A and B are shown apart, each in its own frame.
Chain A
Amino acid sequence: MKRVPFFCIAILLLFFGTGEILSAQARKQLGYDWQPSQVSATYQFTLDDYSFQSESGSVQRTRLNGGGLEYASRKLYPWEAVVSAQYSGGQPLGQHLLTLEGGAGYCRGYKRWVPFGRVLAGTARTSSNDDMYLYKGAKWGFAVGTSAGVDFKLTPHFGVRAFQLQNQYLPFGSQGSVYWSFSSGITYHFHS
């Protein structure tokens, strides 16, 4: 039963991916290696790189939930200039994490699929209700994020971010921290 949603998504993607071919009478005459600039809004799930032992003795991994907003300019396609803002928060320490980053990426469209990879750098701010493992007061620092993912175009203007995996190096802790995030969401493409 767990596979049902996966199959549903796969069938939907297949439908959207081939819909144009099925309905077309004539073959397309022109093709472009081009992707429009886009903005994306995503849900983000983040795993911190540390766990806590709860009072019951079980190990509890720190998980954050949040969202991100990102703009990718593709005027120099296949290269892209990206700015990103992400916020997430979660338990058990009531942590809040905000990252503001900018950087460069590379993407390549294949039919409706657009895989991409990015390296971003910027600043991160964190705060929590704990002062032992995290910081109760807000702390800022330099952050570096590398990510890769795949977008899927549903219409010329709208699409979905199938997934994005992100590795964030954050300046917190004596040796820094590495957080892993999974994102998924929607995209809007700008056509001039």
Chain B
Amino acid sequence: MSLRYRSVAYCVVALMLTAFGGEWAKAQAVDPLVVKMAANENEMLRTIGKYTPLVETYLQIVKKSDGTPVSDHYWLHRIELNRAIAINDTLYNDPGKQQSRFTKAMSLATLSIRRMPMSFSSSGFVEMLSPDIHGFDPKNYAIEFLHNEFLGGVRVAVYEVTPAKKTGYFRGRFWIDGDGHLVRFIGAFTTGGTDSHPTFTHFDSWRYFVNGMWLPAATYIEQTVPDGVLHGQIRIWGYGLEEKYHEYSSTSVTVSVDNAVDHSTEGVDVDQMTAMQEWKNLATDNIIDRMSRSGVLAPKGSFDKILDQIVVNLSIPNNLTFAEPVHCRIMLTTPIEATTVGNTILLSKGLIETLPNEESIASVIAFELAHLSKKVSVDTQYAFADSTLFANKEANKSFALGHSVKDDDDAARAAVEMLKKSMYADKLDNVSLYYQQMSLGVGKLRELYHPAMGDSLISLGGRPWLLAHLEDHSPRLEPDNPRQLAALPLGSNLVVDPWSSEVRLNDAPRLMPLTGDDKHPFAVVPVYFRLRFTPASAADGANRPGETPTAQAN
């Protein structure tokens, strides 16, 4: 080999050694807690690949100057992280598919002469459940320890994270607990686009300790965009859905007959009324069961009992009697809606979250009770089990459970009469304030006020149904008065368990706003979990073998 070639070979070897040596040195320099976190994060991604949780994204764009809403956007996904760790998401609601061909053609024709509205990649938001959905590799980042602190009751180490590569990699901060679990991360997937037209949003993502794991639970989004400021929330629930229904199907049921009652003296025949009632009950049960399986309906919980008590508070003074007891259930979705299925009143989570007081909750229940008192209606086609055999992703749009416009109008009138005869009669001013506040967002918050399958609380004319009948009770809405709480921000009142989807009342004391700007009615506000140690959660037997539960979010 000539001297020239040998020199070149030495140079190449030296360069390779430098490159690999640098990488090796870099790998050695990574904080051991970060290495552990990366392993845990990838294990978490593999673990949640077994589940198919629901991911709900709700975005609001508000004016920079005064915070009034400009527009809103909503998606409900069911995600599957497959073996390649890529999101395979299915939309429950696809706004594009709801348009007719004519409407699509017309809107395309209109858009050809003007600027198209801002577009959103709903899957891009789903990816915020991890800093790197494809698997976190510390080599792709420069990670620098900042300090230790407490997040609630959990001691965490805070790190600053800078990506080595440019677009699409996470830049921000990590909060890592002592066991190397990522419990919170704030930042953005490195900004693409320009300062005025960013293509990625900033976000604050929280994990929730449940069933022995730290699982993605909620994310708050905030980003300045050309139309204003974008605020958004991503909520994840239903991790345990598959497991729950799989267990049901594979568990052999043993029925104890010790306390069985012999009804044989009542005869074996049934009358036509009973047959009809049973037929309706079958349809109701099929719908409720399908909604529960698809994760849209929360399991029965403690909060339902509070709502059931309001039903009693309204029924007794109004002498309302029903063939079957009326119960309330919570739909886990944000769009504000309510409806009835048989003798069950369904209220959306977004609705309950924004209702500021019991009398306002009572007004919505009265609205649905009025429907029920007129006729307990359910589409009996759902009694045929095949009519509810559709894909999970279609569950939210396949049930048409809303009432007719005339029924809604009659129900609104009856509801106000019902309220006037109840213990809520002297608090109707507060009810009026809620609907007045709601009417301010009509036309802007289309997704929030648009029901997926039930009754809208707003008439086609854009006025809340009940407001039209509350003219005797119409105090002036005072947006600047911190004492007047007309409606609450989204995310108030309720807490949803991401694993079991159970809903409970938020036990935090409610602080009164200090100024009118603190009220944020119907708005998206930041997420904050108070993480705390709950060794008791280890005793419930729900944890995975070999995993040590350390903390829980609240």
- Listed in ascending order, the chain A residues whose CB lies under 8 Å from chain B are 20, 23-34, 36, 77-78, 156, 191-192
Of chain B, the residue at the smallest CB distance from A108 is: B112
From the candidates B169, B196, B225, name the one contacting A25 in the complex (CB within 8 A). Answer: B169
| 13 contacting pairs across A/B (C-beta < 8 A) | A20-B192, A23-B165, A25-B132, A25-B133, A27-B121, A29-B125, A30-B197, A30-B225, A30-B230, A32-B197, A34-B115, A78-B113, A156-B193
Closest 7 CB pairs of A and B: A24-B168, A33-B116, A29-B124, A31-B119, A26-B189, A27-B124, A25-B168
State how many angstroms separate the Cβ of B162 from the closest Cβ of chain A: 14
Q: Residue-by-residue, is B174-197 near A (CB-CB < 8 Å gives 1, otherwise 0)?
A: 000000000000000100111111
State how many angstroms separate the Cβ of A113 from the closest Cβ of chain B: 16
Contact B127 A26 (CB under 8 A): yes
State how many angstroms separate the Cβ of A189 from the closest Cβ of chain B: 9
Q: Enumerate chain B residues within 8 angstroms of A29, measured Cβ to Cβ.
A: 120-121, 124-125, 189, 199-201
| Best-surrounded residue of A20, A30, A77 (most CB of chain B within 10 A) | A30
- B interface majority secondary structure: loop
- Listed in ascending order, the chain B residues whose CB lies under 8 Å from chain A are 113-121, 123-125, 127, 132-134, 165-170, 189, 192-201, 223, 225-226, 230
Q: Enumerate chain A residues within 8 angstroms of B195, measured Cβ to Cβ.
A: 191
With A30-B225, A77-B115 known as contacts, the answer to whether A23 contacts B166 (CB < 8 A) is yes
Contact B194 A20 (CB under 8 A): no
State how many angstroms separate the Cβ of B354 from the closest Cβ of chain A: 26
State how many angstroms separate the Cβ of B223 from the closest Cβ of chain A: 8
Q: CA–CA, A192 to B115, complex, Å?
A: 18
Q: Enumerate chain A residues within 8 angstroms of B170, measured Cβ to Cβ.
A: 25-26
Q: CA–CA, A83 to B537, complex, Å?
A: 71
Q: CA–CA, A34 to B225, complex, Å?
A: 12
From the candidates A23, A28, A32, A34, name the one contacting B200 in the complex (CB within 8 A). Answer: A28
Q: CA–CA, A30 to B57, complex, Å?
A: 14
Q: Enumerate chain A residues within 8 angstroms of B193, measured Cβ to Cβ.
A: 28, 30, 32, 156
Contact B192 A191 (CB under 8 A): no
State how many angstroms separate the Cβ of B112 from the closest Cβ of chain A: 8
From the candidates B119, B127, B166, name the one contacting A32 in the complex (CB within 8 A). Answer: B119
Contact B121 A191 (CB under 8 A): no
With A25-B134, A156-B194 known as contacts, the answer to whether A31 contacts B199 (CB < 8 A) is yes
Q: CA–CA, A36 to B179, complex, Å?
A: 48
- Given contact pairs A25-B134, A29-B121, A29-B199, a sample of 15 additional A-B residue pairs in the complex whose CB atoms are under 8 Å apart: A23-B165, A24-B167, A24-B192, A25-B165, A25-B168, A26-B189, A27-B124, A28-B200, A29-B201, A30-B198, A32-B197, A34-B115, A78-B115, A156-B193, A191-B194
Q: CA–CA, A28 to B225, complex, Å?
A: 14
Q: CA–CA, A192 to B195, complex, Å?
A: 8
Q: Enumerate chain B residues within 8 angstroms of A31, measured Cβ to Cβ.
A: 118-121, 199
